[in-house]
Amino acid sequence: MITLDEFVDRLCRLGADGASRRFPRNARDREILMQSVVMELDSERSYAEKEINVRLEAWSRDVAPSIEIDHVTLRRLLVDYQRLERTADGASYRVGFPARTVAFELEVYDLDLRATVAAHRDHLARSRERRKAAAATRDRAARSRNRPRAATLPAPPPP
């Protein structure tokens, strides 16, 4: 069972941490990412190919920008894993419901993916700024310790 905390943690680390990476081979991580794609779709409607492409591009841009995968490859992957069903002529798609080997906590389905990823990105940006500020402080302290000091000269004799 994938808990809400694990889902959020892995989704943010895989898709939104800023480091470019391929779609994961690890089955659990792959399931989390595919579930996040499906959560962006309406399971009660069919999508034309252009519509599904727009949705997949939006997911890549907004939810998992760190994942290097184009919408065509992502669409094929979702079809291969039965997360999307395609009509025989390939003209329309709808959410598939495969037999799952991994279960998700119910709270996962209520998650606002875009808000979660945005909060993670804000957290990363604040962390980077704190690290930069701390590094600048350390650099200033090191420079002041290493600065040559003026020699203390005796006071001149009184006239």
Quick one: which of 73, 79, 64 has its CA closest to 14? 64
The 10s digit of each residue's pLDDT in 97-120 is 887 778 888 888 888 888 888 888
Q: What is the reported pLDDT for 126?
A: 86
Question: CB burial class (10 A; 0-12, 13-18, 19+) of residue 30?
Answer: middle
Which residues neighbour 118 within 8 Å (Cβ) at sequence distance 6 or greater?
none
Task: Give how far Cα 109 sits from Cα of 5, 21, 85, 86, Å.
Answer: 13, 25, 20, 23
Residues 70 and 22: their CA atoms lie apart, in Å, by 10
Each residue of 30-71: pLDDT tens digit?
999 999 999 999 989 999 999 999 999 999 999 999 999 999
Dihedral of alpha carbons 65, 69, 70, 71, sign: negative
Q: How far apart are CA 117 and CA 98, in angstroms?
A: 26
- Which residues, 6 or more positions from 95, have their beta carbon under 8 angstroms from its beta carbon? 38, 41, 42, 43, 83, 84, 85
